[in-house]
């Protein structure tokens, strides 16, 4: 098999990269160990920055997100029993759109297949070789058991946080891994109920953080801060609702209860790989970095990565020029680190740290009060939440 770009991973990064390359007339093959049903059935959060929505629309896959996505013009920071709205529209003239990740993937897969592009679902034994030569190869077993070899000029490592492509960058001689594990996790539930709020509520409380989020008019996503060693078995439905009511207390908000049909615990960590490239291999999305979900940056960072990467690959195939490819890491990383800082800031400001004292809780409340009182503080938060330029 021959193609111009071999892409490992059919998540948001891999599929969007393939789509943007197709628009430039560049051929690619996308490989993933999961089936199409598994990819489209993995329920993930989806808060899309304005830049992401604009790119989807400009590249021809924005119809559904415009039709059914829920545009949010602000969020609420809640502390001391009161809500404080951050008005994105007033402060930035921009907004975010709630549109789950699996819906983005459905849009990308449908467009890819309608364009005649190739996605190999359900492959196994994927091995990327010769990334420092001119013609890398990707060996894999197709879903019918056939051994295949894909020859390409460039490789996109877009295979998520459990990546097999990142280790191909030698460590520590070339690769430096920056890692932070947070001392708490999110206990998440999916509930059949109408929305409790028109916009997301980020609540700070002495018992810990809580988030009131949404998936659709009928299904809501709610989170509680818990110990990372906690178990879903420790949380009855009654205990969940009691704790949510406690942490999001106030006369101005009414939590809508309903049947809980999914419970899970999400660990918190930050990670950045430097560099994001080696030879003919280029990492994007969670294969290169992960962020805590507090700032809603994960999928948006993946889209920003491949926007930069597709332009660089386009220059390479159109003219043979390698300047943009060579500087891919230097171009992408500043935005990655800004997102890391924003996610860390939101996380540290809103969550109760282990062994927090009364001083620590009062200091966090003062920080939240400073941010919400100050137009400059609200603007800083809003600008980062709705998304900084792609690069």
Active site residue 204: no
Active-site residue, selected from the candidate residues 12, 19, 22, 72: 72
Active site residue 341: no
23's enclosing H/E stretch is: helix 12-23
Strands (E), the chain: 5-8, 28-31, 47-48, 70-72, 74-79, 82-87, 96-98, 118-120, 124-129, 137-141, 147-151, 154-157, 176-192, 201-203, 210-212, 219-226, 260-274, 277-278, 281-283, 289-290
Active site residue 307: no
Phi/psi class of residue 250: alpha, beta or left (left: φ > 0; alpha: ψ in -120 to 50)?
left
User: How many CB atoms within 10 Å of residue 140?
Assistant: 22
Active-site residue, selected from the candidate residues 19, 278, 289, 297: 297
User: What's the CA gap between 365 and 345, in Å, rounded?
Assistant: 14
User: What's the CA gap between 89 and 363, in Å, rounded?
Assistant: 29
3-state helix, strand, coil in the chain (%, to 5): 40, 25, 35
Active-site residue, selected from the candidate residues 223, 307, 328, 385: 385
User: What's the CA gap between 303 and 316, in Å, rounded?
Assistant: 20
Residue 296, judged by CB atoms within 10 A of its CB (0-12, 13-18, 19+), counts as buried
User: How many CB atoms within 10 Å of residue 389?
Assistant: 7
Active-site residue, selected from the candidate residues 12, 100, 136, 293: 293
Active site residue 72: yes
User: What's the CA gap between 258 and 4, in Å, rounded?
Assistant: 50
Length of the chain: 391
CA distances from 244 to 209, 248, 279, 295, 371 (A): 10, 6, 49, 20, 24
Active site residue 275: no
Active-site residue, selected from the candidate residues 202, 223, 307, 328: 202
Residues designated as active site: 72, 202, 293, 297, 385
């Amino acid at each position: 098999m021959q193609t111009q770009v071999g892409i490992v991973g059919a998540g948001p990064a891999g599929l969007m990269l393939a789509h943007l390359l197709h628009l430039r007339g560049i051929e690619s093959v996308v490989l993933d160990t999961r089936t199409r049903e598994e990819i489209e059935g993995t329920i993930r959060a989806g808060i899309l920055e304005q830049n992401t929505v604009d790119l989807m629309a400009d590249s021809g896959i924005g119809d559904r997100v415009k039709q059914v996505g829920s545009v949010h013009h602000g969020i609420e920071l809640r502390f001391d029993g009161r809500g404080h709205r951050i008005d994105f529209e007033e402060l930035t003239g921009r907004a975010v759109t709630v549109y789950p990740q699996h819906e983005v993937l459905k849009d990308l897969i449908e467009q890819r297949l309608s364009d005649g592009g190739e996605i190999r679902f359900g492959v196994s034994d994927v091995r990327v070789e010769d990334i420092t030569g001119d013609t890398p190869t990707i060996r894999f077993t197709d879903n019918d058991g056939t051994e295949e070899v894909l020859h390409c000029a460039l490789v996109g490592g877009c295979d998520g946080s459990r990546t097999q492509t990142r280790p191909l960058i030698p460590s520590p001689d070339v690769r430096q891994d920056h890692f932070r594990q947070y001392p708490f996790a999110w206990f998440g539930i999916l509930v059949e109920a109408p929305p409790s709020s028109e916009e997301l509520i980020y609540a700070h409380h002495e018992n810990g953080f809580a988030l009131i989020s949404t998936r659709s008019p009928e299904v809501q996503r709610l989170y509680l801060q818990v110990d990372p060693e906690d178990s879903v078995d420790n949380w009855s439905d009654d205990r969940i609702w009691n704790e949510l009511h406690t942490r999001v207390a106030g006369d101005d908000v009414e939590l809508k209860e309903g049947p809980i049909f999914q419970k899970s615990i999400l660990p918190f960590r930050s990670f950045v790989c430097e560099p994001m490239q080696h030879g003919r291999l280029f990492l994007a999305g969670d294969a290169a970095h992960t962020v805590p979900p507090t700032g809603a940056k994960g999928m948006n960072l993946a889209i920003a990565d491949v926007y930069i990467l597709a332009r660089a690959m386009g220059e390479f195939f159109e003219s043979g020029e390698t300047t943009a490819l060579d500087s891919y890491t230097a171009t992408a990383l500043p935005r990655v680190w800004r997102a890391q800082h924003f996610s860390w800031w939101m996380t540290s400001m809103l969550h109760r740290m282990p062994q927090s004292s009364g001083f620590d809780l009062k200091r966090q409340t003062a920080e939240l009060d400073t941010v919400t009182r100050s137009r400059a503080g609200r603007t800083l938060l809003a600008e980062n939440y709705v998304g900084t330029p792609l690069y």
